[in-house]
Structure 1
């Protein structure tokens, strides 16, 4: 966790910057009413531009019946056709309530900011807004919350009580200190997500996406085949761009958040960064740019919606 030692005119309490209360998330119900949960997904590279992949409610298979003139040939059930010798068409029915599944990253690197609020606070507010918006649209709300030691899923349910259950899980500290011999990575969380988000779901993944690798990309590819997926990348301005020419002192309890600075994880202490080292500064900027480019390429290749949100951004405006 970091904070820059500088004086400022803001009178916001420290607790509001580093943690989020249940009341704060409940109060997001009204502004969330204006969100429509429709996003632009990035087309494949050869297509260019943007394309909306959100088609409303999910569709559930109901039956296979004999082909009738006017049926879409793309809906032909080839297995049944081959078995019976007669052309059959798949019939789908519209789901009354679409499952909305929100995955929230709460690993140590999310507890960090130099401006605005902690990434973890921003992620919680984004999740709260999306949950309330889904409830306003009559959708079912479920989610996944994961730290470095705990990964918990909530089955989608409808109604206000489902939102409150989800928000309470975000703000609750229970089970966070439960011993676990394994460290939960982004890869592990997405592997579980694939088994809990049912086909036709609208899936949001809110994270700083540390630990993206080939397996993470494979999990996203499999998830996107049956679900509408939105990646929300949260970051602090210091992660994207260090100030030039100067020595800056930070208060750190987990300096792993300053990846690329040469600092090592340790107890709470001051960390001094000399940005006059041009080589280190360039390496640091390239590290962030490569992670951002990797996420954009994944979204583009799979046709996923991709949203960037800084710790100083208004989450309501970013979602709009």
Structure 2
């Protein structure tokens, strides 16, 4: 993809993501993702029922009558996007590839974050940390992130979610909200790293998948290639037995994922590339509100 195509695509994603974040997600995002705690706001005169522990003794001494400190929720968050850039994301049999959908979802979250004055950062990962973009605010920063998501060329084609989670735990010193956007095709078990990360941070998993992963069509002989290993083979999709085995594998994979996320108390959603991700994201936000 040349730079003109990338810019055109960035602009298209920006228009869609900004519209969604302004009109749909802003309020839901605000209530779904809480701030770090309570921050001092002002002092006012003591009123009946106020907690005596909130009395500001310096101000009270100065004015010879009791004053209390008023606190409000500290809203500013740091949001980290952990985006899978492995080879399996470069696949799509419907209107878009998994990588494109991942970029749209990430962009929408990013624009919702800056609407709430939150910082946003990114970790691109395969089976290594491909790139780390530290959290910052502003539209310019988000456009840079989207451009990177669309044009980034990873060093590796493989996936290691556990390694990415361990890196998040290490690199982010303060608590953050992190969205892991991946198809979660990982040959290693990442349950422990997810649990550890979610104890320190607020981790949300967003799975993107192609509908063909769930069900194979009957189209006869088909050449398939593993994007992460390069291994190729021919399969006969007219075989009902093969199609059933394919669906069974998908169901087992999803059951395993569900168990991993439940064990780590991690909220997650699964979105197909031929679906409207807005509905799924709204459902996730409402569950958390």
Scaled by the length of structure 2, the TM-score of the pair is: 0.73
Which one of the candidate residues 202, 207, 212 is aligned to 1:238? Answer: 212
Conserved? CA contact 1:20–1:121, under 8 Å = no
1:23 to partner: Cα distance: 1.5
Superposed CA RMSD in Å reads 3.4
Conserved? CA contact 1:234–1:311, under 8 Å = yes
In terms of fraction of residues, the more helix-rich structure is: 2
1:292 to partner: Cα distance: 0.9
Distance 1:228 1:139, change over 3 A: same
1:138 partner SS: coil
**Could you tell which deviates more after superposition, 192-201 or 303-312?**
192-201
2:84 is aligned to: 105
1:227 to partner: Cα distance: 1.6
Conserved? CA contact 2:90–2:98, under 8 Å = yes
1:184 to partner: Cα distance: 5.7
Distance 1:102 1:209, change over 3 A: same
1:56 is aligned to: 34
1:280 is aligned to: 242
Conserved? CA contact 1:236–1:311, under 8 Å = yes
Distance 1:274 1:172, change over 3 A: closer
CA distance in 2, matches of 1:258, 1:163: 28
Scaled by the length of structure 1, the TM-score of the pair is: 0.67
Using CA pairs under 8 Å that are at least 6 residues apart, name the structure with larger relative contact order, 1 or 2: 1
Conserved? CA contact 1:59–1:200, under 8 Å = no
1:25 aligns with 2:13: yes
2:93 is aligned to: 114
**Could you tell which deviates more after superposition, 235-244 or 118-127?**
235-244
Question: For residues 202-217 of structure 1, what are the structure 2 equivalents within 5 Å?
Answer: 202-211=177-186, 213-214=188-189, 216-217=190-191
1:209 partner SS: coil
1:258 to partner: Cα distance: 11
**What number of residue pairs does the alignment pair up?**
248
CA distance in 2, matches of 1:241, 1:297: 22
1:301 to partner: Cα distance: 2.3
Structure 1 residue runs without a partner (length 5+): 1-15, 40-51, 63-68, 72-91
CA distance in 1, matches of 2:7, 2:274: 15
Which one of the candidate residues 167, 191, 194 is aligned to 1:192? Answer: 167
CA distance in 2, matches of 1:20, 1:313: 23
